[in-house]
Every structure is written in C-alpha cells, then in structure tokens.
Chains A and B, each alone.
Chain A
Amino acid sequence: MELEAAKMIGAGLAAIALAGAGVGIGTIFGNYLSGAMRNPSAAQKQFPNLLLGFALAEATGLFGLVVALIILFAF
C-alpha cells in the first residue's frame, strides 16, 4: 500500500500546478479589465486575445491536472 500512498501524494503535488493557472487567469482578466477601463473603445478589439490568453493559461494548469490523473490511473 506504500505505492498507493505515494501515488496520492504525487497526484496532490501535481495538482499544485492549478494554482499557477489561477494566478495566470486572474492576471489576464485583471489586466484586461484595467486596460478596458482606461480605453473602453479598444476593449472590444482585444476580446479575442483575452479569450486566447485565458485558454492558454488555463491549459497549463490543466496539464498539471492531467499529470495527476495519469499518476493516479495510468500506473
């Protein structure tokens, strides 16, 4: 059962990556909002970039999640 415990711990550690995703998404939306407040006319044009940045930042966190899942299930 030691292997099982180690897997759990490893998966938990891998899930820490999601914290980075949280920070990244927060930064992206916060900066978009402050930029949009300063120059509302340019906001609409940058909306696709916002979504792109959101998806990219979230994906890095999800990689950690995938690692966790692989540790749990694949071995």
Chain B
Amino acid sequence: MATNPMTQFEVYSIGPKIQIGNIDISFTNSSLFMVITVALISIFFILSTQKKSLIPGKMQLLAEMIYEFVAKMISDTAGKDARPYFPFILSLFLFVLVANMVGMIPYSFTVTSHIIVTFALAFFIFIGVTIIGFIKHGISYLKLFVPSGVPAVLLPLIVVIEIISYLSRPISLSVRLFANMMAGHTMLKVFGGFVVSLGILGGWLPLGFSVALTGLEILVAFLQAYVFAILTCIYLNDALHLHH
C-alpha cells in the first residue's frame, strides 16, 4: 500500500489560525475548496449573464439550460408554490454539483466527502422545511405523521415509524451524498495505488479501471447532486402541500 486512501480526506489549516473567542475557525483546505466552488459558480453566472443577448452565446445558453433544468425539476416535484425557494434549490444543486466535480480533479479536495458538510446542509434543509411546514399549515402540519386510511389499531405504530422516518431525513440525505463521495474517491485512490504497486508490467489493468471509474464517478457526482436537490424538492413538496 503506497499511501493510505483515507489521507485524501484530511483537513489541515492553511495560513494563520483564526479564532473567535474560544472557537477555532481557521482557513483550511476544505474552506479553500468551498471558496473555489462558490467562486467558479459566481464567476460563471456573472460572466454568462452579463450580456443578456437575445440570441444566447455558449455560456449564456449553458446558464439558461441549468436554469431551465432546475426550474423544471422544481415545478415537476414541488409545484408552483415552490417558486420562492428556487434560488435556494438552484444554489444548493450548483454547490453540490460543482463541489463534486471539483473534487474529481486529481490532488483536489472534495468538500462533500465530509459528513459534517453534507450534514450541515441537510440539517439546514430539514429545519427550514419543518419551519415552512409549520408556518404554512400551523399545528396541522403534524398530520404528516398520520397517513390517511390506516386502521386505528395500527395507528400508534405507524405514527412512530413516520416520525422516525421524518427525523432520519437529514441523516439519510447527508449520509447518501457523503458515502457516495467518500466511497468513490477512496476507490479511485486504491486503484491508483494498485497501478503504482503493480508497476509498469501489471499496472495497465488497474489504470484502465481507474479511467473507467473516473467516468463513473463523474456520473455519480452529477447524480448525487441531482438526487440531493430533488429530495429537497420532495421534502419541500411535503411541507407545502401536506398530502401523504
């Protein structure tokens, strides 16, 4: 084993130590890649939408395609009422997507491969969706846990299950993204290690695997961003429309 495949996920601080009171918030490599991700998205959108030409150029076309894609996703899953949350879902989708894609560049760091990042996002979504639900429906939002058409005998059990499944949403949402990213990157690293350890004679096979897996991981990177966004839309739909 050339190197431990887990070392790629290590977080280390870059530059000076920043502290607010007792809390350490120094700039790390993870922060650097978050900044890179946000900067890429912002620069792309600011540049591409600068001209607002009638016949779009390549950049503007891409930006509009992303816009239409996310708009369609939201209207398909959450309906028209979810329109005010469009900027949030678009930025969420783009953040996860670009973070995943930037992570595919060798020697870079994948922000979303850290459970705490994905969990923070998912927990924020969970809290936000719950607040929206309670604002929209008041206390009757709790009806979400009581599915209609269930016999009264089963009801206590079902309600407990529903509550557990509701509370496990942020966990499943975050762990899904984190586990996919971590597993994919670990595997790429492992195959890279195989290429080195098998040398010039035997290393070609894992190298080919590595290339194929990179393609697969790019697909997974897109897919997980898509799933993350669409599940957010579905949770939002539950909060907005309360049909269960």
Contact = CB atoms under 8 A, between A and B. Distances in A.
Q: Do A and B bind each other?
A: yes
Interface of A: 48, 51-52, 54-56, 58-59, 62-63, 65-66
Interface residues of B, number: 14
Contacts of B180: 58-59, 62
Given A55-B176, A63-B172, 7 more contacts: A48-B230, A51-B223, A51-B227, A55-B223, A55-B224, A65-B179, A66-B175
A66 B224 CA distance: 17
B62 interface: no
Contact of B179 (A51, A54, A56, A63): A63
Contact of B176 (A48, A51, A62): A62
A63 B230 CA distance: 20
Interface of B: 73, 76, 172, 175-176, 178-180, 183, 223-224, 226-227, 230
Contacts of A63: 172, 175, 179
15 contacts: A51-B227, A52-B230, A54-B223, A55-B176, A55-B223, A56-B227, A58-B176, A58-B180, A59-B172, A59-B180, A62-B175, A62-B179, A62-B183, A63-B179, A65-B183
A42 to B, nearest CB: 15
Contacts of B226: 51, 55
A26 B71 CA distance: 31
A74 to B, nearest CB: 11
A59 B176 contact: yes
Nearest to A61: B179
B13 to A, nearest CB: 22
A51 B180 CA distance: 14
Most A CB atoms within 10 A — which of B172, B178, B227?
B227
Nearest to A62: B179
Most B CB atoms within 10 A — which of A48, A51, A55, A63?
A55
